[in-house]
Chain A
Amino acid sequence: MIDMSSKFEPQILGFLCNWCSYAGADLAGTGRTQYSPNLRIIRVMCSGRVDPTFILAAMKNGADGVLIAGCHPPSDCHYLTGNLKARRRYHLLLKLLDQLGIERERVRLEWVSASEGERFAKIVDEFTEQIRTMGPNPLKSS
């Protein structure tokens, strides 16, 4: 028998860039598009602001997943190329996560434009479900 009271609810931290993805998340709100209540949002001006240090700190603090959302490459970034830096750092970080024994699927980079409110909601739902299946952050038990 499944004990519903102890069902694991992922806690996901999202870094959203001001111009595209944060506005996209706002649009989901104005459009009343409902999505899973598992995301906590930190606004940054650009996805290029996201230091891998923040992502590792989030994992250490118990976040089950980390979402970084920026503007579509190659040319949507309000600051021209911040998203391209974010993308390269992300792929290097994934290799580190592999070596650290943390599932790379827990850190996700997505491109969400200011007009993609519904898509943003879909991404949150998908990511939440994926983390739910994967289980809690493995660092939490240790």
Chain B
Amino acid sequence: MSQTKLKLAIGLGATCSGCDMAIVDLAEKLTNVFNAVDIVFWPTASDQKLKEFEQLPDASVDLGFYHGSIANEENKEIAHLLRKKTKTLISFGACACHGGVPGLANLTTTKELFATVYATPSTANPDLKQPQTKTTIGGYSLVLPEKFDTVQCLNECIDVDYYLPGCPPEVPLVEKAIEAILTGKLPAKGETLAPNRILCDECPRKREEKKIPKIYRIQQIIPDQEKCLLDQGVICLGPSTRMGCGARCLEANMPCRGCMGPTSKALDQGAKMIASLGSILGLEGEEAMTEEEVKQLMDQVKDPLGLFYMFTLPASILKRRNMTQK
């Protein structure tokens, strides 16, 4: 008797397709796991048409992965579609879970974005044309999905069953997730399928004392390869980020950028970075510091928003920059 394969559908939002590569990685490394799965929809690598997928009965697909954030109308439609057709839907990757890097578009509006992007010095666009949602060419009506001012994470759009963070999620994590599904040993709905512990646990570097006198950007020093980067003054988001990725960036001498998102107890990754960095920066000699010295100390952090919310701005408390002017 042949074992019925697990039906899998993969939907794309505003994505770089790195998550697609992660799934391909899975195929290469874990063929046995991959062979237990039957992909019924995967625009990146498979030939099924959207119309065919739409015609499948609701909830007939066992598992759905949605990667990418919700940045335009089509992303939203695909999200709703995937939710309709699948039994278990996993928010796959940093963009779906927390908004990801595309989330930084929340610092601006579609209008400002288009005005910049379609008028760069290297863009040949003398009439400053910008994308329209609808246009007619040669008698044919063409439609483009509307770009939203605010990028959202997947769970602001649809009900998500599980979260698999990471940019992209590392192979071991995906493997564990699929195995859990195959064996029916999933945690409670709404859980994140990654350890609820911070990165420092799996980081091989040696940690000494957290009292940073001065901030260095990674290119400004030659960091000691064995020691904790934060101890050396390089801002690393490891303490506010989930483990599960194997701390590969740290092994490559780069500080963690927080792509796995925060633990379940930290409601806002950026706020926690401000709390922790604000506490340990200038800790030694804090009693003698004047107000002015404190300001100068904090000015060492040039771009708190870009650095601390690189992957999680849409999932943060305030979600976006306020554009209403005074």
Binding site for B on A (CB under 8 A): 51-53, 55-57, 59-60, 73-75, 81, 84-85, 87-93, 95-96, 99-103, 134-135, 138-139, 141-142
* Contact status B301-A92, CB under 8 Å: yes
- How many residue pairs link A and B with beta carbons under 8 A? The number is 108
* Contact status B304-A95, CB under 8 Å: yes
Across-interface contacts of A84 in B (CB, < 8 A): 286-287, 289
Pick from A85, A102, A134: contact of B322, CB under 8 Å: A102
B107 nearest CB neighbor, chain A only:
A99
A84 nearest CB neighbor, chain B only:
B286
Contact with A along B308-326 (1 / 0, CB 8 A): 1000000011101111101
Across-interface contacts of B297 in A (CB, < 8 A): 88, 91
* Contact status B271-A52, CB under 8 Å: yes
Across-interface contacts of A100 in B (CB, < 8 A): 305, 318, 320-322
Complex: A102 Cα to B325 Cα, angstroms:
9
* Contact status B304-A96, CB under 8 Å: yes
Across-interface contacts of B322 in A (CB, < 8 A): 100-102, 138-139, 142
Across-interface contacts of A93 in B (CB, < 8 A): 274, 278
For chain B, give the interface size range. 35 or more
* Contact status A53-B275, CB under 8 Å: yes
Nearest 3 pairs between A and B by C-beta?
A89-B278, A101-B322, A99-B305
Pick from A56, A88, A101: contact of B278, CB under 8 Å: A88
- How many whole Å from B185's CB to the nearest CB in chain A? 33
B133 at the interface (CB under 8 A from A): no
A77 nearest CB neighbor, chain B only:
B287
Contact with A along B128-146 (1 / 0, CB 8 A): 0000000000000000000
- How many whole Å from B280's CB to the nearest CB in chain A? 9
- Answer whether A88 and B271 are a contact pair too, CB < 8 Å, given A74-B287, A81-B287, A102-B322: no
- How many whole Å from A105's CB to the nearest CB in chain B? 11
